[in-house]
Amino acid sequence: MRWILSSLLNIAAIAMISATLAISSPSSAHEQGVASPQLPQLPNLFGGTFSLVDHNGVPRTDHDFLGKFQLINFGYTNCPDICPTGLMTISTVMDSLEHEANRVQPLFITVDPARDTPERLKAYVGKFHPRLIGLSGSEAQVRKVAKAYRIHRSKVIVDNTETGYLANHTPTIFLMAPDGKFITLFPHGTEPQFMVDAIRRHMTN
């Protein structure tokens, strides 16, 4: 069931981008001399300001990460499979970038702030990559950043688990520019080398 939900969320994210590009492109309205409506530019659809706390308990804002490309993934520490897979992918990407990895900051933002304290996040992100920073905060703070990145969040009560509930969420990985603007997104399951090639391409632009 979880993989079905993941696939649907990924398709929805890609469809959103495709639809925006299609609507924003020149149309027959221009050819007929009719002005097309002003629509949000793609870079403005994902991302925004945030104020959170990192896995060391240090307050962090989006400004702290300006100057570097950012790989941003949302998830939670009790995630049974999707989150570990996504973070392993990010770890592989960082290792594959070699010295260029210094220009990239990977971030893991929890969608389950009630359980994911800084202490818990620290133990979790330490299993993946030394450069990975975990971010949490209050419910209001996490809700704000999730909304900015158009992340779906929903609690699913599961009686036969130790955790009590699952936190379904959009498993997309976002690539943000050094100025904090959205560049592109990678659906769950994207091959690490594809991401590496895309990041290097944007580094040279």
Mean local confidence (pLDDT), 85-96: 96
Query: Which region holds residue 35: left if phi is over 0, alpha if psi is between -120 and 50, else beta?
Result: beta
3-state secondary structure of 80: coil
Whether 185 shows a pLDDT value over 60: the answer reads yes
Pairing mode of beta strands 133-136, 104-110: parallel
Whether 38 shows a pLDDT value over 70: the answer reads no
Residue 52 phi/psi, 5-degree rounding, is -135, -170
3-state secondary structure of 38: coil
Q: What is the DSSP string of 125-147?
A: HTTT-TT-EEEE--HHHHHHHHH
Instruction: Quickly state the pLDDT bin for 79 (edges 50, 70, 90).
Output: confident
What one-character DSSP code corresponds to residue 12?
H
Gap between the Cα atoms of 94 and 152, Å rounded: 26
pLDDT tens across 97-150, in order?
999 999 999 999 999 999 999 999 999 999 999 999 999 999 999 999 999 999
At residue 160, the pLDDT reads 61
Instruction: Quickly state the pLDDT bin for 173 (edges 50, 70, 90).
Output: very high
At residue 11, the pLDDT reads 46
Q: Which helix (H) or strand (E) holds 104?
A: strand 104-110
Which is higher by pLDDT, 83 or 40? 83
Q: What residue spans define the domains of the chain? A: 2-204
Mean local confidence (pLDDT), 75-99: 93
Which is higher by pLDDT, 107 or 161? 107
Gap between the Cα atoms of 171 and 14, Å rounded: 12
Q: What is the DSSP string of 143-203?
A: HHHHHHTT--EEEEE-TTSSSSEEEEE---EEEE-TTS-EEEEE-TT--HHHHHHHHHHHH
What is the CATH number that goes with domain 2-204?
A: 3.40.30.10
